[in-house]
Amino acid sequence: MPLHFELVTPARLVRSEDVHMVVVPGTEGEFGVLEGHAPFMSTIRDGAVQVYKTEGSAPELIEVRGGFAEVGDSGLTVLAEHVDGD
């Protein structure tokens, strides 16, 4: 089952796709989100969000700064103030 992952900055919607797993750098430690994760909200520290497109594939790294992550029924949403390359 895929996880719906969205990465949003104030300027635009950076990502909106279905992936296998995302590892988010939370303030109190990294956490991985798979499909069906319980509702959860956390602030994030500056670091890389690791996106695993499929099981076992090499992760894609997206550097983010300042923001928070929200897991709900619709999947994972990362609201970041800055994304690398912006």
Partner 1 sequence: MASLKELKDRIGSVKSTQKITKAKQMVAAAKLRKAQAAAEAARPYASRLASVMAALASKVSGDDAPKLLSGTGSDKRHLLVVANSDKGLAGAFNANIVRAALVKARALQAEGKDVEFYLIGKKGRAPIKRAFPNNVGTMFDTTQVREPGYGEAERVSEELVEMYEAGKFDVAHLFFSRFKSALTQEPTEQQIIPVPAPDIAPVETGAVVEYEPGEEEILEALLPRYLKTQIFGALLENNASEQGASMTAMDNATRNAGELIDKLTIQYNRSRQAAITTELIEIIAGAEAL
Could you say whether residue 72 binds partner 1 (CB under 8 A)?
A: yes
Could you say whether residue 61 binds partner 1 (CB under 8 A)?
A: no
Q: 3-state SS of the chain?
A: CCEEEEEECCCCEEEEEEECEEEEEECCEEEEECCCCCCEEEEECCEEEEEECCCCCCCEEEEEEEEEEEEECCEEEEEEEEECCC
Task: Name which position in 47, 48, 63, 68 contacts partner 1 (CB under 8 A).
Answer: 68
Q: Which is nearer to partner 1, 19 or 44 (CB)?
A: 44
Could you say whether residue 36 binds partner 1 (CB under 8 A)?
A: no
Could you say whether residue 84 binds partner 1 (CB under 8 A)?
A: no
Which stretches of the chain bind partner 1, using CB under 8 A? 6, 8-13, 26-28, 38-43, 66-68, 70, 72-73, 77, 79, 81
